[in-house]
Amino acid sequence: MTKFKYILTVLAFGQVLIGCKEEAKTDVPKTEAKKPNVILIMTDDQGYGDLGSLGSPYVKTPNLDKFHNESVRFTDFHVDPSCSPTRSALLTGNYSARAGVWHTIGGRSLLKEGMVTMADVFSDNGYKTAVFGKWHLGENYPFRPNDRGFQEAVVHGGGGIGQSPDFWGNDYYDDTYKHNGKFQKYDGYCNTVWFTEAIDYIEKNKDEPFFCYIPTNLPHAPLNVDEKYVEPFKGKVSERLAKYYGMVEKIDEDVATLFRKVAELGLDENTIIIFMTDNGPCPWFGGVEMDFETGFVEEGYTAGMRGAKIWGYENAHRVPFFIRWPSAGIQGGKDIDALSAHIDVLPTLIELCGLKGADSLKFDGRSLKPLLNGKMNQWEDDRTIFVHNQRVEYPVKDKEYQVITKDWRLVNREEKELYNIKQDGGQKVNVVEENPEVVEELYKRYEDWWQDVSVGFDQYATMYVGSEHENPVTLYSHDAHTRKGEKIWTVNVARDGRYEVAVNRWPNESGKSIGENGKGDLVDRIVSASLKVGNIEQTVQVDGEMNSAKFVVDLKAGVTCFQSAFRFKGNDKVSGAGFVYVDYLGDGDAQKINEYVPSVPDEVLRKGYEQKVVLFD
């Protein structure tokens, strides 16, 4: 067994650059002066097997199949087992744990402030940068797409359309999305909106190099698509899977429109196009029905793999990855079986596009360029990739990890399991007892990795209020920490002054009152609302017909917590605020500001905390 090596260090990255320096000069035809464009398409909760070209007996995806046949395909490509973690790793070239993302809610899906993204690197190299679709790495400054290198952004809120950060009433059709941070109405079906906006953007910027990121929300739940896409599957699969497959075919249709426009504009030869998915299919409300005792799939096609999104086996984290760049010879329907992952995409694009200024960046991933150029002698084949499923407030060592090598999968759920993936792709035979030395070696690699990435697990992402970059600010329950029903936001107050804080159960645009339930019935007897910021504690009496409870506080600049809740008549029931609107009003009372003492997030959040696992987005 070879000695463990980290996936990438700055030195190794430099060696790759030096080793590829000469061939890099010849990758792009000498007649082509313009840097390549990049289009990165990532679907949401679509499994490896949910493409016709990868064996699905159900869906018809002729356009993605054609792209598959024209591309270089990485057949052993891995991501995190859920949404935000994959997105953070893809955009930074680093493990999601290092990027500060190990959940999809609760303040743990916010991409670490100051971490350089793919969009930052492209933008710094003169590229036009845009994102259309699902962001899911933060709603407020400094976590919004426009704060992280994207010059143009049209995105829905949260982890799915209809979640709390999304505009009230969105249902996939004629919705209101955020355009560069401001809500704007759009006509049509969500997926078509993303691709139409992308096409318009590409057409406007066809004469300049562009990076266009299209992370569509399909086929993530809620499973909502026109009946004509569902009808062909009725009677063949369950209703849920019929809707899911209909959404996959809708993706294929919109991808075709994009590909036609790229060709029509004469951009296809010098445009790098990537297609991938963010994790496996969802077993609760998505593309597979699964036995939750064993992880074996009961309905749906998985290309023979075990597991599903979050659910710790191969089908949770192995996904398709196709890349095509005709003018550099990256095409032709070739398979590459080298172990690869989402953390490799940014280092790869930096080399392929000749991007400057990235030498000081450290990546967990490595460039796939030698493999794309057929230079296998420049590729170190003995590598180890790690993925894990945390979905808790504070990451826990040994929780649901997978250690991935070209031959082995060490899986830890309730206990360690080992699979020879070359001989047992379906992970049916646990050989942990027969191979103690392999288990020992792979677990040692995991322990070294954990020690490396766990630095910073005690830190909290903070949303800014009162900043010149965003004011007023809406704090969403989606990004709050929850303690005994109370919602707590870790916040960085940008400047001394007076702030108005409006505490809502429902968003302003809904028009709903504090006492209404989700159906609009006035049933809940809420009698008071509370706000605590540092040593400031205020309670106001409320009428159930009010839309919000308002407070005014004088705050000092710095990190603190906003804590808020509603209380009910006649009992101790507490309901956390759903939405908190914070508006900087100007200079405050100097004496009150001087008397204010901020809270320490770690002290507030660890007090009486009980670790709980939340499975769903």
Both structure tokens of 453: 């990435």
Can you tell me the distance from the alpha carbon of 257 to that of 272, in angstroms, rounded to the nearest whole number? Answer: 17
Residue 35 belongs to a domain:
no
Confidence category of residue 18, pLDDT binned at 50, 70, 90 = very low
Residue 15 belongs to a domain:
yes
Verify cis geometry, omega within 30 degrees of 0, for the bond prior to 219: yes
Residue 497 contacts residue 584 (beta carbons within 8 Å): yes
- Taking only the tens place, the pLDDT of each residue in 69-92 is 999 999 999 999 999 999 999 999
358 and 273, same domain (yes or no): yes
Confidence category of residue 15, pLDDT binned at 50, 70, 90 = very low
Higher pLDDT, 568 or 18: 568
Q: What percent of the chain has pLDDT over 90?
A: 85
Can you tell me the distance from the alpha carbon of 277 to that of 80, in angstroms, rounded to the nearest whole number? Answer: 10
Q: How confident is the model at residue 611, as a pLDDT?
A: 67
Is residue 613's pLDDT more than 80? Answer: no
Residue 524 belongs to a domain:
yes
Can you tell me the distance from the alpha carbon of 491 to that of 531, in angstroms, rounded to the nearest whole number? Answer: 14
Residue 458 belongs to a domain:
no
284 and 342, same domain (yes or no): yes
- Taking only the tens place, the pLDDT of each residue in 134-177 is 999 999 999 999 999 999 999 999 999 999 999 999 999 999 99
**What are the backbone dihedrals phi and psi of residue 478, each rounded to the nearest 5 degrees, phi first?**
-55, -35
* 145: helix, strand or coil: helix
Q: Which structural domain, as residue segments, surrounds residue 499?
A: 463-606
Q: How confident is the model at residue 35, as a pLDDT?
A: 96
Residue 178 contacts residue 132 (beta carbons within 8 Å): no
Verify cis geometry, omega within 30 degrees of 0, for the bond prior to 472: yes
Torsion sign, CA atoms 140, 142, 143, 145? positive
Mean pLDDT of 537-549: 93
Q: How confident is the model at residue 574, as a pLDDT?
A: 84
Residue 358 belongs to a domain:
yes
473-476 and 579-586 strand pairing: antiparallel
486-493 and 463-465 strand pairing: parallel
Q: Which long-range contacts (CB under 8 A, 24 or more apart) does 5-11 make?
A: 5/380, 5/382, 5/383, 6/364, 6/448, 6/449, 6/452, 7/343, 7/364, 7/365, 7/366, 7/383, 7/384, 7/385, 8/347, 8/362, 8/363, 8/364, 8/365, 8/366, 9/362, 10/360, 10/362
Is residue 178's pLDDT more than 60? Answer: yes
Mean pLDDT of 106-114: 97
- Taking only the tens place, the pLDDT of each residue in 422-457 is 999 999 999 999 999 999 999 999 999 999 999 999
Q: How confident is the model at residue 522, as a pLDDT?
A: 67
- Taking only the tens place, the pLDDT of each residue in 338-362 is 999 999 999 999 999 999 988 899 9
Both structure tokens of 413: 């759920």
**Among residues 90, 81, 92, 97, which one has the least CA distance to residue 48?**
81
Residue 93 contacts residue 360 (beta carbons within 8 Å): no
Can you tell me the distance from the alpha carbon of 271 to that of 282, in angstroms, rounded to the nearest whole number? Answer: 32
Total residues belonging to the chain: 617
Residue 496 belongs to a domain:
yes
Q: What is the DSSP letter of 35?
A: P
Residue 434 contacts residue 450 (beta carbons within 8 Å): no
* Buried/exposed code over 29-43 (b: 16+ C-beta within 10 A; e: otherwise): eeeeeebbbbbbbbb
Both structure tokens of 62: 């002729």
**Among residues 234, 195, 199, which one has the least CA distance to residue 215?**
195
**Final residue belonging to a domain, choices 355, 385, 415:** 385
Residue 34 belongs to a domain:
no
2-16, 119-133, 205-219, 296-310, range with the lowest pLDDT: 2-16
Confidence category of residue 11, pLDDT binned at 50, 70, 90 = very low
517 and 391, same domain (yes or no): no
DSSP H or E run through 87:
helix 83-92
144 and 178, same domain (yes or no): yes
Judged on CB neighbours under 10 Å (0-12, 13-18, 19+), 3 is exposed
Is residue 610's pLDDT more than 50? Answer: yes
Q: How confident is the model at residue 1, as a pLDDT?
A: 43
Higher pLDDT, 417 or 359: 417
**What are the backbone dihedrals phi and psi of residue 261, each rounded to the nearest 5 degrees, phi first?**
-65, -40
Residue 36 belongs to a domain:
no
Domain containing residue 431: CATH number = 3.30.1120.10
Mean pLDDT of 42-48: 99
- Taking only the tens place, the pLDDT of each residue in 392-412 is 999 999 999 999 999 999 999
200 and 243, same domain (yes or no): yes
Is residue 498's pLDDT more than 50? Answer: yes
Contacts of 451 (CB under 8 A, 6+ apart): none
Q: What is the DSSP letter of 342?
A: G
205 and 235, same domain (yes or no): yes
Can you tell me the distance from the alpha carbon of 508 to that of 550, in angstroms, rounded to the nearest whole number? Answer: 13
100 and 189, same domain (yes or no): yes
**Final residue belonging to a domain, choices 363, 385, 407:** 385
**Final residue belonging to a domain, choices 453, 479, 498:** 453
Higher pLDDT, 12 or 343: 343
Q: How confident is the model at residue 25, as a pLDDT?
A: 39
Can you tell me the distance from the alpha carbon of 469 to that of 467, in angstroms, rounded to the nearest whole number? Answer: 5
Residue 427 contacts residue 306 (beta carbons within 8 Å): yes
Confidence category of residue 13, pLDDT binned at 50, 70, 90 = very low
325 and 417, same domain (yes or no): no
Residue 211 contacts residue 122 (beta carbons within 8 Å): yes
193 and 58, same domain (yes or no): yes
Domain containing residue 530: CATH number = 2.60.120.260
368 and 421, same domain (yes or no): no
- Taking only the tens place, the pLDDT of each residue in 227-286 is 999 999 999 999 999 999 999 999 999 999 999 999 999 999 999 999 999 999 999 999
Q: How confident is the model at residue 371, as a pLDDT?
A: 97
Contacts of 414 (CB under 8 A, 6+ apart): none
Can you tell me the distance from the alpha carbon of 377 to that of 370, in angstroms, rounded to the nearest whole number? Answer: 8
- The strand pairing partners of 481, in sequence order, are 488
Q: How confident is the model at residue 502, as a pLDDT?
A: 98
187 and 168, same domain (yes or no): yes
Can you tell me the distance from the alpha carbon of 23 to that of 25, in angstroms, rounded to the nearest whole number? Answer: 5
Is residue 33's pLDDT more than 80? Answer: no
Domain containing residue 184: CATH number = 3.40.720.10
**Among residues 45, 478, 42, which one has the least CA distance to residue 223?**
45
pTM check: above 0.85: yes
Confidence category of residue 484, pLDDT binned at 50, 70, 90 = confident
Helix segments in 103-238, DSSP class H: 118-124, 190-204, 227-230
Domain count, the chain: 3
266 and 160, same domain (yes or no): yes
- Taking only the tens place, the pLDDT of each residue in 513-524 is 998 887 777 666
Residue 568 contacts residue 579 (beta carbons within 8 Å): no
